[in-house]
Amino acid sequence: MTELRIETTDIPGLLVVRLPVHGDARGWFKENWQRAKMTALGLPDFGPVQNNISFNASRGATRGIHAEPWDKLISVATGRVFGAWVDLRVGASFGSTFSLEVDESVAVFVPRGVGNSYQALEDGTAYSYLVNAHWRPGIRYPALALDDASAAIPWPIPLSESEISDKDRANPVLTDVSPFEAPRPLVIGGGQVATALRAVLPDAVFVTRPEVDLADPASLEAYDWSAHDVVINAAAMTAVDRAETAEGRREAWAANASGPAELARLAREHGFTLVHYSSDYVFDGTVASHSESEPLSPLGVYGQTKAAGDVAVASAPRHYILRTSWVIGEGANFVATMRSLAERGVSPSVVDDQIGRLTFTSELARATVHLLSHDAPFGTYNVTNGGEPMSWHAVAAAVFEASGRSGDDVSATSTAEYLAGRENVSPRPAHSTLDLAKLEATGFVPTDQLTALADYLAR
């Protein structure tokens, strides 16, 4: 019996899994899919939703080279097969091949767009495959001729002696194959975060409220979600004080809670990975640093709706919740306001009892791509810039100094004094610092907030 291990191949993403097989006089037993152990060794957490069995009555039965638009884990239940894989995806590895004999001790992870074919080496062979999308009528994908000369697959049983369907005999040669194009990510929203995502996801599809309205279930039902394997929800109602009004409360619950809940349902139905952005406002700010496992404890309506959205999104099998704070991007924001005041000779009063870190939208976009491209375990991640936590007053002073003014031109005040006499004000968490250890464990190195601030102001 071998130890569980995972081997790479010359085809990017195609992985061979060596499975421990426990046998005795009665037969054998194996863990065909063990999520925790396999993902720990590097197998993508691909979220299977369907299990298929292919039975081959006679030795020599050969099934064509098909590049389906889903990931799969293939393994043998009984007998042996010869597996052949050809990369039919757009890119430098197009046309690369790999082959392997598969018995009960071997499984193979096949990423979407890689053509796969199997030839039964014994009578009564059955193999299974777990897939992470439901089959649907009319779906189209590339296929390749079994005898393509450029692939030169070394079939153990000559194709002339094999059982092959008429459909597979008609598949094209490699030069006539239209390469598989990966589904394009979908980004919902038109604000600061969506703007930053455009710079790092140039091939993504971007839609705004007229096209996909999170507050309108009919709009969500009408959209073709099957065209995307990643959906990034960058839409939200972020006017925290307006959320405390009667009209704003309804808007916040619709955009921040009900809409994400619908997206989570659609993610379960269509199998896409759902990325959602959360907020430090889901916490009451009574601890100095918030971890992802801290119980939710929102103070105001905005925080309550974001917390409800987090709970809903967490029900999607494949999800990333990126919890952030003090977001700074293109357009109106705190740093831009302080810069304007400094340039106009105004000396503002800024609160010094709210502590946290800035999150530049470029950093948030970079973390999003990092988690997706590194197949990080699904779940919730805190994402902010790095560095020592600061107060809003300290941030404002740094902006003034970078603008040629003295930091002393910014006076300090308390949150209570600043909000005194105002109506419909959302309570602010006193401590917004988010623990970044989980994010850093994935290999992401946060940019120091003061470095990012200097770069932002220089632009």
Roughly how many angstroms between the first and final C-alpha of the chain, as a whole number? 60
* CA distances (Å), origin 195, targets 207, 320, 330, 336, 363: 11, 19, 8, 16, 12
CA geometry: angle at 69 spanning 233 and 187, to 5°?
Answer: 15
Distance (Å, whole) CA 446 – CA 440: 8
Distance (Å, whole) CA 367 – CA 364: 5
Distance (Å, whole) CA 336 – CA 333: 5
**Radius of gyration of the chain measured on its C-alpha atoms:** 27
Q: Which residue reads 């064509």 in tokens?
A: 64
Q: Could you give the residue numbers annotated as active site? A: 66, 129
CA geometry: angle at 60 spanning 56 and 63, to 5°?
Answer: 60
One-letter amino acid at 192 equals Q
Tokens at 380, concatenated: 């919730």
Asked if residue 449 lies in contact with residue 386, where contact means CB atoms within 8 angstroms, the answer is yes
Distance (Å, whole) CA 432 – CA 314: 22
Q: Which residue reads 């930091």 in tokens?
A: 407
H-run or E-run covering 269:
helix 259-270
Q: Which residue reads 């009564």 in tokens?
A: 124
Alpha helices in 89-191 (DSSP H): 166-169
For the chain, give the number of residues. 459
Distance (Å, whole) CA 81 – CA 156: 10
Cβ burial, residue 105 (10 Å; 0-12/13-18/19+):
middle
Asked if residue 127 lies in contact with residue 77, where contact means CB atoms within 8 angstroms, the answer is yes
One-letter amino acid at 172 equals P
Rounded to the nearest angstrom, the gap between the alpha carbon of residue 415 and the centroid of all alpha carbons in its chain is: 36
Cβ burial, residue 413 (10 Å; 0-12/13-18/19+):
middle
